């Protein structure tokens, strides 16, 4: 079976890691051209460095050749996206950037460590890679378009599985299906009013002549902007909280907004400058705090909910529908694995706190309330239950049909993508430097 070419998403870590390499190896060159897009030697080295850091490279030349072929595939997709006039919005770009940078910051330990390591602000780093993210989103749309209507029938799944050599059928590790009930402690009215009042005092001081940027450094609770005097840099529509954006775009240069409430908390905003449909603002953010009594109240509620389920007065699913703040409660309260899109998790795919809370549970048992934080940093108290826990075993159609179905579908996708590549190669201009002509590519990347 032909190896399916893989689309490698170039991570920010590998590209920024290349910055250090390029300080010593400053010579760069175009090594390939695909349509109107080109591939630099530095593009290859960026990913090679990442692979080298992860270990496991046994053939440096073959690795660089494979990286080049993966990038050629990306450029071919990008060329098609440009021909099809694929559009991505500023909001899509920002959401993708936010998700990726949350991961990168987690890897470094904090935003400050990320910025210190690269000697750049988070805003500067984001700006450097905005175009790359835009192109990646365009590429993703074309790739999804190629395979979006593909399906596999039960007959195809069985045929695929039966074609696997018996001694190479994968071993399936223990998998979990986990239900959750999420309760976000309500912030009491007094705390909301007190936070707003603290911000009002700061606004009054600014209106009387004190420096906005100085007070932002001293009091703002936005770690990304406070040390820069509250400045967040040029932003387009769709990149800010709706309430923040509505207020900021209505300001004149130097003007101070009234107090604005968003999902993050309470803000006051000053417009620094406006360039067309982009604005640069500074702000002071104060976030209402959840009090210990609020947390205790939510914890007691969840203890009562767990008791109702244990006493069989309602099912876990019924309790989730009635009490959970998680939008996913309509899906039987099951957690969804973002890596696979289904509801099964390996232990390594679970948050360590969740794994510890469910590891000793038998199916149907319920955890104690666990304190968690979502992607926006908001605190919640969660109950977990194990819906399913499998034993390690060789894959079989009875227990692992959905997993095998995904394998069969991935094979079909790979075959479809390979066919698409072969067709587009014949219609697209390519040029590859002599230095890479000896690569054992899967596809013929130059027009015959």
At 355 the pLDDT is: 95
**Burial (CB count <10 Å: 0-12, 13-18, 19+), residue 104:** middle
CB 97 within 8 A of CB 150: no
Q: Quote the CA–CA distance of 438 and 97 in Å, as a whole number.
A: 37
Calculate the alpha carbon distances from 435 to 45, 50, 62, 118 in Å.
14, 22, 13, 32
Answer whether residue 237 is part of any domain. yes
| Residue 83 and residue 40 share a domain | yes
At 447 the pLDDT is: 53
Quote the pTM value.
0.60
| Residue 271 and residue 318 share a domain | no
Q: In what order do the strands lie in the sheet with 260-261?
A: 231-236, 278-286, 266-275, 260-261
Answer whether residue 19 is part of any domain. yes
| Residue 376 and residue 425 share a domain | no
| Residue 218 and residue 122 share a domain | no
| Residue 41 and residue 97 share a domain | yes
CB 273 within 8 A of CB 290: no
Q: Give the Cβ contact number of residue 304 at 10 Å.
A: 11
Total number of domains in the chain: 3
Last residue in a domain, options 263, 286, 309 = 286
Answer whether residue 445 is part of any domain. no
CB 270 within 8 A of CB 256: yes
At 315 the pLDDT is: 95
Last residue in a domain, options 251, 271, 286 = 286
Answer whether residue 161 is part of any domain. no
Q: Quote the CA–CA distance of 405 and 296 in Å, as a whole number.
A: 45
Q: Quote the CA–CA distance of 76 and 418 in Å, as a whole number.
A: 12
Answer whether residue 444 is part of any domain. no
| Residue 414 and residue 383 share a domain | no
| Residue 199 and residue 115 share a domain | no
Q: Give the Cβ contact number of residue 297 at 10 Å.
A: 15
| Residue 250 and residue 208 share a domain | yes
Q: Is the dihedral of CA 163, 166, 168, 171 positive or negative?
A: positive
| Residue 128 and residue 57 share a domain | yes
Q: Quote the CA–CA distance of 152 and 123 in Å, as a whole number.
A: 44
Answer whether residue 166 is part of any domain. no
| Residue 304 and residue 282 share a domain | no
At 26 the pLDDT is: 45
Q: CB neighbours of 6 closer than 8 A, spacing ≥ 6?
A: 70
**Which structural domain, as residue segments, surrounds residue 235?**
189-286
User: Could you state, in chain order, the average pLDDT of each consecutive group of 10 residues for the chain (448 residues)?
Assistant: 38 48 60 92 86 80 92 94 89 81 78 82 82 91 92 96 93 93 91 95 96 95 86 82 92 95 92 88 93 92 95 95 90 87 89 93 93 77 94 91 91 94 90 90 76
Answer whether residue 149 is part of any domain. yes
| Residue 206 and residue 180 share a domain | no
Q: CB neighbours of 48 closer than 8 A, spacing ≥ 6?
A: 60, 63, 64, 67
CATH number at residue 217: 3.10.50.40
Element containing residue 412 per DSSP (H, E): helix 401-425
Classify the phi-psi angles of 424: left when phi > 0, otherwise alpha if psi is within -120 to 50, otherwise beta: alpha
Q: Quote the CA–CA distance of 74 and 139 in Å, as a whole number.
A: 7
Calculate the alpha carbon distances from 168 to 125, 231, 379, 393, 407 in Å.
44, 56, 45, 13, 14
Q: Give the Cβ contact number of residue 145 at 10 Å.
A: 15
Last residue in a domain, options 286, 320, 351 = 286
| Residue 112 and residue 98 share a domain | yes
- For residues 252, 253, 255, 259, the Cα torsion angle rounded to the nearest 10 degrees is 80
CATH number at residue 134: 1.10.4030.10
Nearest by Cα to 377 from 261, 238, 263: 263
Answer whether residue 446 is part of any domain. no
């Amino acid at each position: 079976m032909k190896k399916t070419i893989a689309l490698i998403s170039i991570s920010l870590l590998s590209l920024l890691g290349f910055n250090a390499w390029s300080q010593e190896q400053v010579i760069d060159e175009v090594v390939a051209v695909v349509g109107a897009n080109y591939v630099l030697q530095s593009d290859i080295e960026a990913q090679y460095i990442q692979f080298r850091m992860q270990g496991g490279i046994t053939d440096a030349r073959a690795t660089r050749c494979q990286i080049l072929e993966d990038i050629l595939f990306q450029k071919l997709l990008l060329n098609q996206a440009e021909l099809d006039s694929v559009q991505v919005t500023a909001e899509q770009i920002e959401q993708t950037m936010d998700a990726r940078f949350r991961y990168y910051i987690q890897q470094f330990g904090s935003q400050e460590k990320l910025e210190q390591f690269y000697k750049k602000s988070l805003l500067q780093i984001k700006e450097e890679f905005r175009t790359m993210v835009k192109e990646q989103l365009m590429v993703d749309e074309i790739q999804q378009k190629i395979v979006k209507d593909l399906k596999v029938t039960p007959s195809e799944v069985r045929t695929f599985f039966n074609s696997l050599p018996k001694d190479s059928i994968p071993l399936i590790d223990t998998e979990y299906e986990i239900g959750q009930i999420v309760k976000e402690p309500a912030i009491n009215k007094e705390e909301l009013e007190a936070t707003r009042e603290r911000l009002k005092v700061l606004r009054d001081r600014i209106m009387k002549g004190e420096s906005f940027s100085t007070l932002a450094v001293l009091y703002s609770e936005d770690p990304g902007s406070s040390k820069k005097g509250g400045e967040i840099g040029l932003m387009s529509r769709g990149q800010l909280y709706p309430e923040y954006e509505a207020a900021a775009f209505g300001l004149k240069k130097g003007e101070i907004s009234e107090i604005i409430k968003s999902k993050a908390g309470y803000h006051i905003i000053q417009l620094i400058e406006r360039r067309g449909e982009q604005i640069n603002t500074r702000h002071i953010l104060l976030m209402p705090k959840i009090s210990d009594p609020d947390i205790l109240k939510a914890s007691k509620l969840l203890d009562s909910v767990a008791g109702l389920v244990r006493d069989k007065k309602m099912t876990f699913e019924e309790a989730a529908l009635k009490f959970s703040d998680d939008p996913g409660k309509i899906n039987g309260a099951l957690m969804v694995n973002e890596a696979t899109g289904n509801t099964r998790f390996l232990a390594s795919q679970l948050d360590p706190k969740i794994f510890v809370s469910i590891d000793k549970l038998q199916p149907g048992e319920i955890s104690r309330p666990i304190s968690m934080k979502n992607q926006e940093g908001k605190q919640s108290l969660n109950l977990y239950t194990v819906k399913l826990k499998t034993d390690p075993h060789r894959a079989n159609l009875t227990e692992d049909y959905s997993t095998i179905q995904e394998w069969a579908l991935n094979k079909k996708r790979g075959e479809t993508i390979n066919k698409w590549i072969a067709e587009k190669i014949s219609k697209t201009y390519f040029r590859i430097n002599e230095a890479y002509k000896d690569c054992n590519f899967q596809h013929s990347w130059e027009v015959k």
